[in-house]
Amino acid sequence: MDAVGLLGAVLPATVTAVARLSDDDDAPLHPSEEAAVARAVASRRAEFTTGRWCAREALAALGAPAEAIPVGEERAPVWPAGVVGSITHTRGFRGAAVAWRSTVRSVGIDAEVHDVLPDRVLDVVSSETERALLERLSSARPDVAWDRLLFSAKESVYKTWFPLTGRWLGFEDAELVPSEDGTFTTRLLVEGPTVDGAVVESFVGRWAVADGILVTAIALPAR
């Protein structure tokens, strides 16, 4: 598996994903998207533009209108009616994932360079319990940057959470339990949203690493 195939490997068949490893300098932006990067530096504009290109390619593959995806509250993408989705970008990777809301209620993806977190960041984004678990996992699988994985998974949790609630979720508001088998479970430590008549108390996701890129993803299915 190469880096381009990472998103597809961590998402169910009900979700359509597209990824690129480089920016497309000729990719156009819709006028409603242009405002979000009108004053951005060139690198930010490039990652934003390529992320939107991935999103429109994914929408087209899904059979949805490949229309504008403006920036909404908390800088979250605003998707066409009936569609849920998520966009991610990091150095050397841009990607998007979309699904019909009738089958998937929310989706969150995150990509990171597969490397250890900067000093002291782990203390900010994790609990003592989580750090103890990461130590055990690091002993068993030293080839995985477990601290970066935890950070990425919590980013995916937030991206899944926000469209369902419209509320902030801090790193301390969710407890992550990653596994060596490419999965992770997140227990919400605050009241979760009610989806399809049931309160969501946890999210289950998947992770994968290839070619120096780590991705995490969650797709909350409809009941």
Nearest partner of 148 among 129, 134, 127, 169, judged by Cα = 134
The pLDDT of residue 31 is 86
Neighbours of 1 (CB within 10 A): 11
From CA 48, how far away is CA 167, in angstroms rounded? 23
Whether residues 119 and 217 fall in one domain: yes
Neighbours of 83 (CB within 10 A): 21
| Domains identified in the chain, total number | 2
Whether residues 93 and 147 fall in one domain: no
Whether residues 126 and 215 fall in one domain: yes
Domain edge (last residue) among 64, 84, 110: 110
From CA 217, how far away is CA 212, in angstroms rounded? 17
Whether residues 131 and 157 fall in one domain: yes
The pLDDT of residue 72 is 86
Domain edge (last residue) among 74, 93, 110: 110
pLDDT single digits (tens) 21-65: 999 777 788 888 888 888 889 889 899 999 999 999 999 999 998
Contacts of 75 (CB under 8 A, 6+ apart): 36
pLDDT single digits (tens) 164-223: 999 999 999 999 999 999 999 999 999 999 999 999 999 999 999 999 999 999 999 998
Range of the domain at 43: 3-110
Whether residues 99 and 122 fall in one domain: no
Whether residues 117 and 157 fall in one domain: yes
For the entire predicted model, the pTM comes to: 0.95
The pLDDT of residue 74 is 81
pLDDT single digits (tens) 107-157: 999 999 999 999 999 999 999 999 999 999 999 999 999 999 999 999 999
3-state secondary structure of 85: strand
Domain edge (last residue) among 55, 82, 110: 110
Strand runs (DSSP E) across the chain, as ranges?
A: 16-20, 83-90, 93-100, 104-113, 174-178, 183-188, 194-195, 198-199, 202-210, 213-221
Whether residues 101 and 133 fall in one domain: no
Whether residues 145 and 105 fall in one domain: no
From CA 55, how far away is CA 65, in angstroms rounded? 11
From CA 93, how far away is CA 141, in angstroms rounded? 24
Locus of tokens 């990607």: 95
